[in-house]
Structure 1
Amino acid sequence: MNTITGEKPAFPAGTASTSTIAALPVALFGSVMGLTGLALAWRSAHAHFSVPSWIGAGLGWMAIFAFVAVTAGYACKVLTAGTAVRDEFNHPIAGNMFGTPLISILLLPLLLADLSLPLARAFWAAGAIGMSVFAWFIVSRWMRGAQQPVHATPAWIVPVVGMLDVPLALPALQWPRLHGVAMFGLAIGLFFALPLMTLILSRLMFQEPMPESLRPSLMIMLAPFAVGFSAYASTTGHVDDFATALYMLMLFMLAVLLGRLRNLPACSTFKVSWWAVSFPLSASATAAIRYASHSPNRYTDGIAIAVLVIATVVIAGLLIRTLWGIARGELRAVMT
């Protein structure tokens, strides 16, 4: 079964390795997003809690390695299984996940800026342009009509609300003249978050329950608030009442969604689609630490530590289980 759509994929004839490559979902870039987000969260923890800096640095290198590995794997899929890529792109649910490599490219400059500012700026420019074009394409496709209510899943948040990732790296890139671009990404992301969250909640309330393979994607519903908080703070340069409201909404949604997902390991076998929980959790940790820095007290610090621990434990578990599956030759099984 396809871990994003709940449908059985059709692989081109060929060797087992070819079929495995054809099964590689573009959503696996969610692992890059999760590792990058966790590295940034631990960097923030170093600044606020004085934890060792090597934790964030080590996670950053892991994120860069994961990006190279997943990019190479998906490039092989493009070259050897073009039909599978085209079908994935045209699918009303899976197609939205093509925003994950673009978001990865927007996040990596936060890690690359200390290594090479020109390289970080080049990555960000490619990601910002690509994300804007992709968001335009997806919104245009939605407006052509013929969308099915059952397809309104959290994956729909990725291509347009993903524009909230555009402003995040700009302070590190030392590009103050691009404030208008930051506002562009912030405005689009926040505006489309409202109708999309309404559609998704309506689908969850009035349609059949989501398939087990799609349940990890529920955590994506955290992103508009967690990333929205960080994007707003990065764009405006301060934390005001609106940013605080986004933070409070993030905490509420985190409590709701953790309750929904706590039994996931018992009801669904491991799939790489579980990585969908990683970036929203790590983004929530970063937002919580940033808010604790703005309003330091034992409550905000305690919340920040708790969210960071949850994100770290979950992502460590996902990484260990993924590597264990690869070592046991289960790569295709955990992807399909």
Structure 2
Amino acid sequence: MFFASVMGIGGLTLVIGKTIRIFELEVNFSWLLTALSFFSVFLLCGISILYLAKIIRHYSAFSKELKHPVRINFFSAVCVSLLIVLMLILRFIPLWFALIIFYIGAFLQLILSLYVVRFWFLHALEQKMANPAWFIPIVGNLIVPLVGMNLNAQMAWIPFEILIFYFGVGSFFWILLNAALLIRLIFGEHLPQKLSPTLFIFIAPPSVFALDILLLFKDYVSIASLYGIASASFSVALFFMLLMISLFEIFKELKFALSWWAFTFPTAAWTLCALELYSLGGSLFYAFLGIFGIVLSSVIVLVVGFRTLLAIKQKEICVLEE
């Protein structure tokens, strides 16, 4: 779950970068973008080293996580984190190196997606095991074409067929799991309190899907058509955002856990989508939502980051549990 912090902080950094470009704030805030980008790299490297040490020293615990019906989904957070950080450092690294990182991240995402879906097929899972964390491997597939198109904008040549493969897989499983999880949440048991923050993950797939639509098909379909499709997808994300806001009374009573980082990346993805739609159409509605998202994303990351540091100091995380 610690890799979700890289997704959250990296997502906020992408939001800040988009804000700086749209509102032409490079003179005053380019230093902030650079600082957060390198902090995201540092965080990814630090957590990766710690988890590698865990694999070496406590392989049995790692093996159990690979077979755990809930924790297995968080392994894709590693790939998503790597791809998000790659978008942040594109301007600082050679293109050939960026391509290597991209293909490593995309390959790992494919392997983990196959492993997770294979796990679902081979094990008799109870309905209560289904939770929004199942979206993480799916969102990872939707992130791949987003990163790939950003690379192609810098004269890299990543075949369209590869990007559309990940887009198709991510879109299919997003729709499928969205229905399955809603049925579980409505007719099954309530989520454990610790996993309640993962409800925010419902916001991420339609937001990233909309961004993919705008980038993948801009050379094939008129921007007006893409704008309409992306707006419709964003509307789904907006509905879930409003739903999460309506559940604020429940969230504010939660005891801190690393799952709080699930609040961060979906909010950042939603904000990125609002800002992108504003930049294309100039809608004041999307401008308002984008500015609201910037504030909300920043506050959430600051609060969750502070609570995480406090929990580390008090030794309340990384404790043995079932």
TM-score by length of 2: 0.90
Moved more, 235-244 or 35-44: 235-244
* Residue type of the alignment partner of 2:86: P
2:19 to 39, 45, 63: 45
How far did 1:324 drift?
Answer: 2.7
1:251 counterpart = 2:238: yes
How far did 1:171 drift?
Answer: 2.9
Tell me the residue number matched to 1:99.
76
Measure, in 2, the Cα distance between the counterparts of 1:155 and 1:297.
Answer: 33
Q: Which string of whole-angstrom CA distances, capped at 9 and with x for unpartnered residues, describes residues 226-266 of structure 1?
A: 11111222212353322121111111111112222454232
2:88 to 106, 111, 114: 111
1:35 counterpart = 2:5: no
Tell me the residue number matched to 1:146.
124
Q: Is the 8 A contact 2:69 2:129 kept in 1?
A: yes
2:208 to 227, 230, 247: 227
Q: Which string of whole-angstrom CA distances, capped at 9 and with x for unpartnered residues, describes residues 104-139 of structure 1?
A: 112221112111123322211111001011111222
Measure, in 1, the Cα distance between the counterparts of 2:107 and 2:72.
Answer: 18
How far did 1:160 drift?
Answer: 2.9
* Residue type of the alignment partner of 1:152: A
How far did 1:80 drift?
Answer: 1.0
How many residue pairs were aligned? 309
* Residue type of the alignment partner of 1:30: A
Measure, in 1, the Cα distance between the counterparts of 2:17 and 2:230.
Answer: 21
Measure, in 2, the Cα distance between the counterparts of 1:328 and 1:195.
Answer: 40
1:289 counterpart = 2:275: yes
Q: Is the 8 A contact 1:219 1:280 kept in 2?
A: yes
CA shift in 2, pair 1:91/1:324, >3 Å: same
Q: Is the 8 A contact 1:186 1:232 kept in 2?
A: no
How far did 1:53 drift?
Answer: 2.3
How far did 1:185 drift?
Answer: 0.9
Tell me the residue number matched to 2:113.
135
CA shift in 2, pair 1:261/1:162, >3 Å: farther
SS of residue matched to 2:247: helix
Q: Is the 8 A contact 2:277 2:286 kept in 1?
A: yes
Q: Which runs of 5+ in 2 are unaligned?
A: none
SS of residue matched to 2:92: coil
Measure, in 2, the Cα distance between the counterparts of 1:105 and 1:165.
Answer: 11
SS of residue matched to 2:252: helix
Q: Is the 8 A contact 1:227 1:283 kept in 2?
A: yes
Q: Is the 8 A contact 1:247 1:287 kept in 2?
A: yes
Q: Which string of whole-angstrom CA distances, capped at 9 and with x for unpartnered residues, describes residues 54-85 of structure 1?
A: 23222212211110111111111101111111
Tell me the residue number matched to 1:312.
298
Moved more, 235-244 or 179-188: 235-244
Q: Is the 8 A contact 2:66 2:72 kept in 1?
A: yes
Q: Which string of whole-angstrom CA distances, capped at 9 and with x for unpartnered residues, describes residues 29-66 of structure 1?
A: 00001111111111100111223222322221221111
Tell me the residue number matched to 1:323.
309
What aligned pairs does 1:1-336 form with structure 2 within 5 A after superposition?
Answer: 27-51=1-25, 52-116=29-93, 117-144=95-122, 146-174=124-152, 175-237=156-218, 238=223, 239-266=226-253, 268-332=254-318
Structure 1 consecutive aligned stretches of length 4 or more whose deviation exceeds 6 Å: none
CA shift in 2, pair 1:100/1:60, >3 Å: same
Moved more, 225-234 or 278-287: 225-234
* Residue type of the alignment partner of 2:230: A
CA shift in 2, pair 1:262/1:54, >3 Å: farther
Q: Is the 8 A contact 2:106 2:144 kept in 1?
A: yes
CA shift in 2, pair 1:74/1:139, >3 Å: same
Measure, in 2, the Cα distance between the counterparts of 1:334 and 1:327.
Answer: 17
Q: Which runs of 5+ in 1 are unaligned?
A: 1-26
Measure, in 1, the Cα distance between the counterparts of 2:193 and 2:87.
Answer: 34
RMSD in angstroms over aligned alpha carbons? 1.9
Q: Percent of aligned pairs with the same residue? A: 27
